[in-house]
């Protein structure tokens, strides 16, 4: 450059030394505060402090650069920042930023080479704005675009054909500090309502075959059995570990009461965002699961846990985005069949699912009044479900002050609430009638995106419902919560979001979660496509020869 640097080199060096003295304070205080909530706070703080050092060094060198060596050092610093960005995010906007970085990086190296080669030339330097200068700029842009396109093409080819492993070098760091809370083995009334205030994407589900076959299906996470009047919890559910086979599939036993003739098999793929729970969200009843469930930093196959409530758990937690596919058998038993189920319940079921805390005497009286015309457990459950759905209002506004008996306050005074109050009221009233029931937590089906052919499940789709036991047929869901009247977003921006979400699904599925299983699937698809193309070409040649 012709002009002097904005910052003298000596001053830049002294500022660098001062920042190195400041670095420990940044590491142990400033960056550590940013790392609160991360599963590995110290490692996350070290990464953030290093990034701060890179940015500071980049700014100083940019203001004090004079020689070719200084500019090469700037390029190395910029490359370090793009590597840090690759660690911190796996979102699709990184792809856009990386594309611009690749183009700018190639243009920078070409410019540096032109500058180095012209250092000893006898010719007069080109003046800015002259036809020759414009021609060189256009040639530099065209060359950069061609080289960047070639790099992306070759890199993409290598990415898809090189052997892939599910556990990467940084897979065990789990640097994602933002988790979605609200699902655990202890849930207080009001927890789900707080989750439902957010529109953050929790999971995406893609169904194999007809996507409408899961319409109305709930993605089940956990089932809760004990209620103390304020909080649902689960105890002594006899967790049983299951390991995957050589193909990565976890085969889970189906309930003995489940009749194959009364089920609908469905296969689906899930991409689950980081959540602060070990629950694996699936459609009931799940039979097989395959995914990236393993101990952080380990390349060995992990295991899943299935308890007596049919809750599927990942003991290594979902602190990072995880993709998995599952096969479930959706129960499809006619109401007439459930009405004829036996009224005699097994002793262990009665002991566990008829537990009740001290309660307002008006509550069992209300349950008897609503179901006085019913003669079987199914009709009693249906009447309570209809009563709550039609006589009470839905709201996410929580009571201003804690109530001594929140269910009695909901049923006899406030008469409006969200899903936890509806589901808890129905479950408790069923138990007062001697019908075993429990609370289930998970998510509603979600919003269908016809662009990406997947369901978008958001935090606001978090839901609680009731599962009722029928001897000989098992547990069946009932949902006493009225529908939320908030209309689905429409218009141009909503359509743009659907395209962006489809891009997010493709990026996550075929880049972030790309592994050996995806390679095999891609190779088989290419093989089938190539056979189809060769067959069509042969038929075309035969038709042309016959025509001649």
Beta partners for 448?
455
- Cα distances from 282 to residues 313, 470, 517, in angstroms, run 11, 22, 21
- The answer to whether the CB of 243 falls within 8 A of the CB of 252 is no
Which H or E element spans position 438? strand 437-443
Other CB atoms within 10 Å distance of the CB of residue 61: 20
Cβ pair 167, 299 in contact under 8 A: yes
Render each residue's pLDDT in the chain as its tens digit; 548 residues. Answer: 446 678 888 888 889 899 999 999 999 999 888 877 666 788 888 888 999 999 999 998 888 888 888 888 888 899 988 888 877 776 777 878 888 888 888 888 888 888 777 776 666 667 777 888 888 888 888 888 898 888 888 887 777 776 655 444 444 444 444 445 456 566 777 666 666 667 788 899 999 999 999 999 999 999 999 999 888 988 778 889 999 888 889 999 999 888 777 789 999 999 888 887 888 999 989 999 998 787 655 555 678 999 999 999 998 765 677 889 999 999 888 899 999 999 999 999 999 999 999 989 999 999 999 999 999 999 999 999 999 999 999 887 776 677 888 999 999 998 988 888 999 999 999 999 999 999 999 999 999 988 888 999 988 888 999 999 999 999 999 999 998 765 455 667 777 777 777 777 777 766 766 666 666 666 777 777 778 888 888 899 999 999 99
372 to 126, 380, 389: CA distances (angstroms): 96, 8, 18
CA distance 213 to 265: 10
| Residue 223: φ, ψ to 5° | -120, 135
Residue 359, φ and ψ in degrees, nearest 5 = -140, 165
Three-state SS string across 74-132, please? HHHHHHHHHHHHHHHCCCHHHHHHHHHHHHHHHHHHHHHHHHHHCCCCCCCCCCCCCHH
CB of 481 closer than 8 Å to CB of 418 = yes
Nearest partner of 504 among 445, 461, 446, 449, judged by Cα: 449
Residue (of 286, 267, 295, 270) closest to 456 by Cα position: 270
219 DSSP β-pair partners: 283, 443
In this prediction the pTM is 0.69
Pair of tokens at residue 378: 């199914």
C-beta neighbour count of 348 within 10 angstroms? 9
d(CA 288, CA 208): 15
């Amino acid at each position: 450059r012709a002009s002097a640097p904005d910052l003298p080199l000596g001053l830049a060096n002294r500022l660098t030394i001062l920042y190195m003295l400041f670095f420990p304070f940044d590491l142990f205080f400033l960056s550590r505060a940013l790392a609160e909530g991360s599963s590995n706070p110290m490692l996350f703080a070290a990464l953030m402090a290093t990034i701060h050092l890179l940015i500071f060094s980049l700014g100083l060198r940019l203001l004090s650069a004079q020689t070719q060596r200084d500019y090469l050092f700037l390029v190395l610093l910029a490359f370090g920042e793009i590597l840090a960005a690759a660690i911190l995010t796996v979102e699709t906007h990184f792809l856009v930023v990386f594309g611009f970085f690749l183009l700018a990086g190639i243009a920078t190296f070409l410019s540096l080479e032109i500058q180095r080669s012209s250092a000893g030339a006898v010719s007069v330097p080109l003046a800015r704005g002259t036809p020759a200068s414009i021609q060189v700029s256009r040639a530099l842009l065209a060359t950069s675009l061609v080289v960047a396109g070639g790099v992306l093409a070759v890199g993409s080819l290598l990415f898809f054909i090189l052997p892939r492993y599910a556990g990467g070098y940084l897979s065990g760091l789990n640097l994602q500090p933002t988790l979605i809370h609200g699902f655990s083995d202890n849930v207080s009334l009001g927890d789900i309502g707080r989750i439902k205030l957010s529109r953050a994407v929790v999971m995406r589900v893609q169904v194999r075959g007809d996507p409408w076959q899961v319409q109305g299906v709930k993605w089940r996470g956990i089932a809760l059995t004990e209620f103390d009047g304020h909080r649902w919890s689960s105890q002594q559910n006899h967790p049983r570990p299951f390991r995957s086979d050589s193909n990565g599939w976890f085969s889970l036993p189906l309930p003995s009461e489940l009749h194959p003739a009364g089920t609908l098999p469905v296969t689906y793929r899930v991409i689950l965002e980081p959540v602060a729970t070990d629950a694996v969200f699936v459609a009931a009843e799940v039979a097989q699961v395959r995914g990236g469930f393993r101990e952080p930093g380990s390349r060995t196959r992990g295991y899943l846990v299935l308890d007596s409530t049919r809750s599927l758990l990942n003991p290594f937690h979902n602190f990072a985005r995880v993709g998995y596919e599952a096969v479930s058998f959706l129960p499809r038993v006619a109401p007439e069949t459930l009405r004829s189920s036996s009224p005699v319940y097994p002793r262990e079921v009665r002991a566990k699912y008829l537990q009740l805390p001290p309660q307002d005497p008006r509550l069992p009286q209300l349950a008897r009044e609503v179901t006085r015309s019913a003669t079987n457990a199914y009709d009693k459950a249906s009447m309570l479900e209809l009563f709550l759905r039609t006589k009470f209002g839905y709201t996410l506004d929580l009571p201003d002050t804690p109530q001594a008996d929140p269910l009695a306050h909901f049923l006899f005074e406030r008469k409006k609430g969200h899903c936890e109050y509806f589901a808890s009221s129905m479950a408790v009233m069923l138990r007062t009638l001697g019908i075993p029931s429990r609370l289930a937590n998970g998510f509603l089906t979600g919003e269908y995106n016809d662009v990406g052919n997947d369901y978008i499940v958001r935090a606001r789709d978090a839901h609680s419902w009731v599962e009722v036991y029928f001897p000989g047929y098992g547990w069946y869901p009932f949902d006493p919560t009225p529908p939320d009247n908030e209309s689905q977003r429409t218009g141009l921006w909503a359509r743009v979001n659907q395209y962006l979400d489809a891009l997010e699904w493709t990026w996550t599925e075929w880049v972030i979660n790309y592994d050996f299983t995806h390679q095999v699937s891609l190779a088989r698809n290419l093989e089938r496509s190539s056979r189809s193309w060769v067959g069509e070409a042969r038929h075309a040649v035969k038709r042309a020869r016959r025509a001649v």
